[in-house]
Structure 1
């Protein structure tokens, strides 16, 4: 291969500083040695890379193409070196974070910005999971950290966990749904007669979980909490929504909050990760997410 990273760095220095002499000084090389290296590269490639315009060295069209694409390689090599150095000091090359689908992932953006400002060498990958899907993502290795995992951890799991609050749900129906005018508390036998809108559990290996579903109730399964709220607004079914989302929809007149004769569902939320993981990015996020009011911010409805 005739092109090396060293050759690309040499071309970059010449083009940036405008002359062989200035580039040689920046690269701590003798000007004659730099000139010889460029001439040798041009001979090997079979075409000129620079031509003179006054005292300035200017790239030829072929040289411009070579350097423009080569700078992509230089940046990639720099990133690779940075990531390798960070791994050697305990920072992960990538951190995969699974977020429960009832939470607002956008509320993580300020925290991510903090992380990037000081520790930007670790790549972050965010994903939504639903119900048992958060635990499943941890169990199957899809995620390194789960935020807002619902319910108790699977039996026998060796996860490190921290309590992260509770998610409260309210029962909601569309204003034009028959249950909107039903006397409260609504008997569960009456609610069971109407279709429930449920979000599909994203578990792949663990047993799928359900929440707020009555025995024998017909269901409409949707992919996420936003689709569930939309289906309930359209009167396609009934069901529970996170308190903050339900209250927002009720305040806008799009849904009606009703009281069942059963207790209001509450789900414990957890931060969880594999107990044998010690990465510094993981520990940074755990400590940051455990700060006061962080859980409440992520439970606020998006938009």
Structure 2
């Protein structure tokens, strides 16, 4: 299919508008003015419209010309971006990178890594989304992400490379106005049973769902992420275990009170994981940076 509007014609139109005349535009494009005149006349003929008012010395666009230029600049920018992406792929840099972050990992360390990456000015589209419990492994398994940050639990054998980020301590916390806040001693099952337990839903779609820190309760409140769980417990609506590193501010401000319970939760190792296949340059950069990052655990 023949298109009257070509990238070359759009470049000529853009140059004429910027330089104000065919002669100056020709110099900037290293062409003779007659070549630009021919290109514009052919474009006008093919489109059946006039693009320039030819009454004065300066090349002035008609309304149709202004519309074509405005839309054409978007096409020129897209073409330039595409050219850069093609060259980038040839050099080993991916065009897209998808990061899965577990809900027990704070946002800021991940954003710090992303900010350092953006300073390199690589044309890589980065997607960041949040998973919970087995969701990070599930995202890797279903190829919904390239790297999973903060995965926990039993490590799959043979399929992934992993790097230990650290260990997360979970503490039992209640709101400062909750009936259990002033309880003295170790909380036993009978003291905890009458209050709703707040839990984060597993975001796994394919792999079996997991659960952590559950205890007997007459009611369960299920939320989508750790931020919602913290807010729910600060409100006094329910009780449960929370990552200590994510509630430091709430504890210092006495919004949450840490209590001792009959349940013992050991430190939970957390990992960065990615597929064993040879990573592209963008993924490899993220892997190395994540290994060095302070995750504030």
The match for 2:135 is 133
The match for 1:170 is 171
Is the contact between residue 170 and residue 265 of structure 1 (CA under 8 Å) also seen in structure 2?
A: no
Secondary structure of the 2:292 match is coil
Is the contact between residue 246 and residue 257 of structure 1 (CA under 8 Å) also seen in structure 2?
A: no
Q: Which one of 59, 78, 90 corresponds to residue 57 of structure 1?
A: 59
The match for 1:208 is 209
Is the contact between residue 109 and residue 293 of structure 2 (CA under 8 Å) also seen in structure 1?
A: no
Secondary structure of the 1:178 match is coil
Deviations 1:107-153, CA, capped at 9 Å, x for gaps: 43332222122142111000000011011111011101011112232
Q: Which one of 88, 92, 96 corresponds to residue 86 of structure 1?
A: 88
Q: Give the alignment of 1:60-209 within 5 angstroms.
A: 60-154=62-156, 156=157, 158-209=159-210
Deviations 1:143-188, CA, capped at 9 Å, x for gaps: 010111122323x450011111111111101223222122222224
* Cα distance in structure 1, aligned partners of 2:266 and 2:177: 24
Shift of 1:212: 0.8
The match for 1:279 is 280
Shift of 1:52: 4.2
* Cα distance in structure 2, aligned partners of 1:277 and 1:260: 46
- Length, aligned pairs only: 295
CA RMSD of aligned residues (A): 1.8
Is the contact between residue 95 and residue 123 of structure 1 (CA under 8 Å) also seen in structure 2?
A: yes
Q: Which one of 37, 49, 66 corresponds to residue 35 of structure 1?
A: 37
The match for 1:218 is 219
The 10-residue stretch of structure 1 (240-249 or 90-99) with the greater mean CA deviation from structure 2: 240-249
* Cα distance in structure 2, aligned partners of 1:247 and 1:108: 19
The match for 1:255 is 256
The 10-residue stretch of structure 1 (211-220 or 176-185) with the greater mean CA deviation from structure 2: 211-220
Alpha-carbon distance change, 22 to 5 in structure 1, aligned in 2, over 3 angstroms: same
Shift of 1:268: 0.9
The match for 2:245 is 244
Q: TM-score normalized by structure 2?
A: 0.93
Q: TM-score normalized by structure 1?
A: 0.91
* Cα distance in structure 2, aligned partners of 1:248 and 1:135: 30
Secondary structure of the 1:118 match is coil
Gaps of 5+ in 2: none
Shift of 1:73: 0.9
Gaps of 5+ in 1: none
Alpha-carbon distance change, 267 to 53 in structure 1, aligned in 2, over 3 angstroms: farther
The match for 1:6 is 8
